[in-house]
Amino acid sequence: MRTGRPTSFRPEYAEQAHKLCLLGATDADLASFFGVSVVTVGNWKLNHPSFLGALKAGKAAADAHVAERLYKRATGYEHDAVKIMLVDGQPAHVPYVERYPPDTTACIFWLKNRRPDAWRDRVQQEHSGSVAVQQQTIDRPPAETREQWIARRQRELAAQRRSLATAEPAGSAD
């Protein structure tokens, strides 16, 4: 016997979720659409195999579509198109072939993700051998205390005042 709040899941949610995933919806988007939390969507995936299957199929199809478009962008492509122009005051449909050259950024992105062993930015280097580390101890007198520093600084300032008092005034030289 199950206890707790009854589920708000409906069988038709599987088909709706599939269509939303074909459009690129994430689990957070689905939760917002169905008016539930992301945790609830996760529970539906666990408890309703048809819902999980619909999400997987929709997301896989959307990812495949994007991969196909990225591949075309990386390799360049062309398609038939029509340009509408005015000729002698009348609209004319002029067919032509639209061409898109390969895109370097798309190529790099594709290769880094499909062949990271050959195209990653980070180069891993292996090192052999050993590194010798030497530590040297330097004998230093202990650091002076605050009181010692104040006393030393007062002596230095007093010495400066005495030397200024005994110095000849500026501009009095003959």
pLDDT digits (tens, 9 = 90+) for 71-86: 999 999 999 999 999 9
Shortest CA distance to 82 belongs to which of 95, 98, 101, 91?
Answer: 95
Which residues does residue 9 pair with via DSSP β-bridges, in sequence order? none
Which residues does residue 78 pair with via DSSP β-bridges, in sequence order? 99
Question: Structure tokens of 16?
Answer: 């709706």
What is the model's pTM? 0.56
Rounded to an integer, what distance in angstroms lies between the CA atom of residue 135 and that of residue 133?
7
- Summarize pLDDT for 87-106 with one digit per residue, the tens: 999 999 999 999 999 999 98
- Neighbouring C-beta atoms of residue 120, cutoff 10 Å: 12
Radius of gyration (C-alpha) of the chain in whole angstroms:
39
Cβ-proximal residues to 150 (8 Å cutoff; 6+ apart), any chain: none
Question: Structure tokens of 78?
Answer: 């062309």
Q: Residue 6 has what pLDDT?
A: 75
- Summarize pLDDT for 21-71 with one digit per residue, the tens: 999 999 999 999 999 999 999 999 999 999 999 999 999 999 999 999 999
Distance of CA 174 to the CA centre of its chain: 76
Q: Residue 144 has what pLDDT?
A: 79
